Each structure stands twice: as C-alpha cells, then as structure tokens.
A = this chain, B = another copy of it.
C-alpha cells in the first residue's frame, strides 16, 4: 500500500473519534507577518491537542484481540490524556504510567478520561520498566507517543484536512517535540499538497531536531529550560528518517519569542494556545522576511495550559 493510501485509510479510520477542527485566520496576524496565514486549530481537538489523532490511529489499527487486552504508554503530557480518551472511545482499557511527581491535575485528567494511572519513580528507566511490566502482566500493547508509524500517520491527518480546505499552501509549519507531528505533516504535505513544504520549529533550548538534521544522527538535548514543555522529548528512529527526507528545515526560536507569539494569538485571535503551540508562529515571525506574501498553514498543536502559571 502506498503512503498516500495509508494516510487516507488512517484518516477514515479515526474520523469517528476526532473532531474535524476549524481553520481560523486573522487579518492582524497577516499584517504583522506579511504573509497569508491559516491556522489549523488542534487546540479545539478532543482533549485539547492533536495527539488525539495519533492515539486513535494506533489503537484503531490494533487487532480486536490486542484491543481486548488494552494499551499502555508512559507520559505525563497530552499523550497520556489522548491515549486514555481514544481508548475509552474505542472501548479499550488504557494503562498510563506516570511519574509519582506528576502534578495531581494531570493524573486527574487521565482518570477523567477513563485511563488507569500507574505511578512509578520519576526516572525514564523506571517509567520504561513499569510500562514493560504491564505489557507482560496484562498483555497490553505499548503505544509510543511519537515514534510509531500509526501515530505518525494519525498526526498527519490534521495537515490532510488543512490541505483539503486550503490546497495551495506554500508551507506548513509545525512544532517539533518527539517528531510525530512534523513527520506526519511532512508526509501529508508531500501527498496532499501542491509543492507544499514542511517546516519544523523548536526552541533553542531543546534544539535536538535542528542538530540531528545537521549531524545526520539523532542528537540529545543538553538543556531543556523551555516554556514549551511539550517539546522536551527526543526524536525517534522511526520518525527521524521521515523528517530527514521530507522536512525542509527546522527554525529555532528564543523563549521570549515564544511568549510574544503566544500573546499575539491570545490577544488578537481570542483563542488559547499552549506555549509549545506558539513555537511555529514564533519561528515564522522570526524569519518573516523570507516568507513574504507566501501562503502558510500553521498547525496549532494544542491548548492545554495551566492558567495558574501563565508567562504574562
């Protein structure tokens, strides 16, 4: 099966479990960027982020036997909620391994969506071991938040919808965290766009994708002092080759640029986006002279912010 067919089938398979999110525009943001912008609002997606797409894609592609034994992941972020809600929608049990020091509000959110929270000591090694134990004991299938082809294809469906609505985009910008969204978007842009290029954006503080593209191998982050907490994760072995082949460029931004971009969107579009979600718009503003008059789609990745801890 071709990748285009796989994308189309994936989109069809997850349609009952996701919202087709709206695409918004802003005269003011067009004006300050000097470009023609359309924003795909995955902050309005179920559970508030695009991760719902990848999670629904992965679970819905399991056999009924696999589904009957449940799914497991380790995450304290949006993917934990996405897997819980997708699993619930599909009648599947979800085990979510979370570090014991994760905020109570995040544990409650997972429980609210029907996931079973399993706490473990707060190290990556413990998280992986705990998830592995659940695979063995329960027969549950492990779903990685970004380094999984079904997840990557699912994340790409946001760009499919965007290109169905706006077929002549010159560029699509997305944030880069684990790499699932930017890889899926790049595949969708290749097969559904009309010479549409994909650009990733990440904070200087966690620029592993930028450095990985430079060096040709997966680099790790030495710092992670970014407000864009969704982008602290690492590229994986499945999405990195797709990124190498299909993503045109990674643009890096400063923390202050992320906050400025986020504030523009809140004030002018009247919608709530999380800091990670503001990164691609910040990247466009940083390099706006290069994109003058171009038609640009931006994937607004999510809107799950902690209102008690805002940067303004």
Contacts and interface: CB of A to CB of B under 8 A. Distances in A.
Interface in A280-312: 303, 307-308, 310, 312
A124 interface: no
Contacts of A15: none
B307 A48 contact: no
A279 interface: no
B307 A263 contact: yes
A217 to B, nearest CB: 37
A271 interface: yes
Among A22, A43, A269, A310: residue with most chain B CB under 10 A: A269
Interface in A129-173: none
Contacts of A44: 269-270
Copies in the complex: 2
Nearest to A27: B46
Nearest to A312: B307
B266 A307 contact: yes
A43 B270 CA distance: 7
B303 A312 contact: no
A272 interface: yes
Contacts of A269: 44
Interface string A243-279: 0000000000000000000010011011111000000
Contacts of A312: 307-308
Contacts of A263: 307
A270 B48 contact: yes
A22 B23 CA distance: 11
Interface string A95-130: 000000000000000000000000000000000000
Contacts of A310: 307, 310
A308 B266 CA distance: 12
Contacts of A43: 270
Interface string A210-242: 000000000000000000000000000000000
20 contacts: A22-B22, A43-B270, A44-B269, A44-B270, A48-B270, A263-B307, A266-B272, A266-B307, A267-B307, A270-B271, A270-B272, A270-B273, A270-B303, A271-B271, A271-B272, A272-B272, A307-B310, A307-B312, A308-B312, A310-B310
Interface of A: 22, 43-44, 48, 263, 266-267, 269-273, 303, 307-308, 310, 312
3 smallest CB-CB distances across A and B, nearest first, come from: A270-B303, A270-B272, A43-B270
Given A48-B270, A307-B312, 7 more contacts: A43-B270, A266-B272, A266-B307, A270-B272, A270-B273, A271-B271, A271-B272
